[in-house]
Amino acid sequence: MSEFLAIQHVSVIVADTQRALAFYRDVLGLPEDPRRPDLGYPGAWLTIGAQQIHLLELPNPDPLTGRPAHGGRDRHCALTLRDLDALRRRLEAASIPYSLSKSGRRALFCRDPDSNALEFVEAPA
């Protein structure tokens, strides 16, 4: 049996790479990896530690409406961060709605401009 070591990257479909970068890079602060090769369609790679988020500007086969209001009830990517309150301030400054985790953990959920759900979990001190 294979021994899995980590998740290397998560891909999300976006309608407009620049609009998505305004969220992922500019609001969240994720650095863009300039080594993304020409894959025949627009997109970007963003770095989180040893992992990445790949933005794919491709036709979206998923519905953008009718998704659960709380991202924890939808498929989502969960990211660990050091300061949840700093993220809350950045989201509020950018007028991006979010909801707190229903579990009581120091976590929140929001959606990117293409309705992809993201969870942000604060690392224990």
Assigned domain for 65 exists: no
> Are residue 47 and residue 13 in the same domain, yes or no?
yes
> Are residue 51 and residue 80 in the same domain, yes or no?
no
Assigned domain for 43 exists: yes
**pLDDT lower than 70: segments of the chain:** none
pLDDT at 62: 87
Element (DSSP H or E) covering residue 41: none
Domain of residue 29 covers 9-57
Helices (H), ranges, 6-118 = 17-21, 84-93
pLDDT at 8: 95
Paired strand residues for 11? 54
